[in-house]
Every structure is written in structure tokens, then in C-alpha cells.
Chains A and B, each alone.
Chain A
Amino acid sequence: KAGVTQTPRYLIKTRGQQVTLSCSPISGHRSVSWYQQTPGQGLQFLFEYFSETQRNKGNFPGRFSGRQFSNSRSEMNVSTLELGDSALYLCASSFEQGASQGLFFGSGTQLSVL
């Protein structure tokens, strides 16, 4: 069974631009979550989507948004990029809503904002 797939693997953007990251969950998994990983702040929860609805949101500004499609694939968008948005963005999927079945992570998208 294929794992969580994230595209693109690397992105370079400039301040003020916007970016869209994509995530395909493990087949059969219906929940997709996003995390931001930085050296300073570590791993921080962004949001969780289940059945195309945002179920939970972390403490991030409104510039960070996401959506989930009927096939469970998810996209994350960051508008008006800031230097501090440079991070590894990790997508995780789980079979059901919540983490009781475990969260399975992709390899991430490394975003660099110049």
C-alpha cells in the first residue's frame, strides 16, 4: 500500500507570494492533517480535515488555509508568504477522524521563502 504522498518535495518562493501544497493520503484513509516543522518551534499542528470538513485548527494565522476533496486528497495554501513561513510542511493521514489508529506522515514539502 502506498504511503502518504506530498508534492512538490521542494519549493522556493519570495515574500508576498502564495503557495499551494498537495497531499494524497494512504488509500482508505479519510482524515488528513497538516503540521509545520521548524528548527525553532518544532512540530506544530496546523489543521485536520475529515470528510471534506475542517475538524480542528491550530494556532496559526488566517493566511494558512486548507481543503479536502471528495477523494480525501488535501491541499494547503499559504498566502502572503513571510520569511518565517520557511519550514518543512508535513501531511499525515489516518483511517478515521482523530489519531486513535495512528498518524502516518509523508516525507513533507520543504518550503523556503526568500
Chain B
Amino acid sequence: AQSVTQPDIHITVSEGASLELRCNYSYGATPYLFWYVQSPGQGLQLLLKYFSGDTLVQGIKGFEAEFKRSQSSFNLRKPSVHWSDAAEYFCAVGAIQAGTALIFGKGTTLSVSS
């Protein structure tokens, strides 16, 4: 079955500390992978996407993610977290055959402590 797992429901990180959000997927076809961020009451903002090529992708707001096919993972990282990064983060997977029917993980809520 196709699925996306974000093992951490909630993470708290100190401001200035590094961040890694985990994402594992199960998908039959060659996947497209995405990370989105959602602030309360808002829509989803695309942070970065991976389709092919370099397995380390850079996104907006200083985020990056690394695709590891052997581990079926696409973890999101940021070297130094800012208080404004507090939000909910979603990993999603799709494929050419699926069109825009992405499968989303349940999300990880990030809190930033001062």
C-alpha cells in the first residue's frame, strides 16, 4: 500500500539549534517527494521538491532535504531554527501516473523554544 510515515507527531527545538524531520514512504512507482509547511489556519506552502537528479535538494527558508532511495526516506533539515519556523510540516509523495493525487503524511508539529 502507498503511504507516507512521519514518525514524530511533535518536536520541540531550541531556537538556533538544528532540525531534522523524518519522512519515510512506501510507493510502488518512482516517486516525486515534497515537503510542505502549514501555519495555523493557513494553506500549505511548498518548501522543496524532489523529482530526480541530485538527491540533496535545497528549498526556501534555508531548508534542505535528502532523498535516500535505499531507506525510502526524505528527511527535512535546517541548520539553525528560527522562532518563525514553528508550524506543522507535511511530507508528501506522488508520481507521474498519479497526477496531482499526492499522499500526505500526518504531519509533524514543530515548536521552537527560546
Chain A's interface: helix, strand, loop or mixed, by majority? strand
Least Cβ–Cβ distance between B5 and chain A, in angstroms = 12
Interface residues of B (CB under 8 A from A): 32, 34, 36, 41-46, 49, 51, 90, 92, 94, 96, 98-107
Give the total number of A-B pairs whose CB atoms are below 8 A apart: 68
| Residue in A103, A107, A108, A110 whose beta carbon sits within 8 Å of that of B102 in the complex | A103
Q: Smallest CB–CB gap between B103 and chain A, Å?
A: 8
- Are the C-beta atoms of A102 and B99 separated by less than 8 Å? no
Identify the A interface with B (CB < 8 A). 4, 6, 31, 33, 42-45, 48, 55-56, 58, 90, 92, 94, 97-100, 102-108, 110
Q: Are A55 and B99 in contact (CB under 8 A)?
A: yes
Q: Please, how many angstroms separate the alpha-carbon atoms of A33 and B92 in the complex?
A: 15
- For B106, list chain A residues within 8 Å (CB): 42
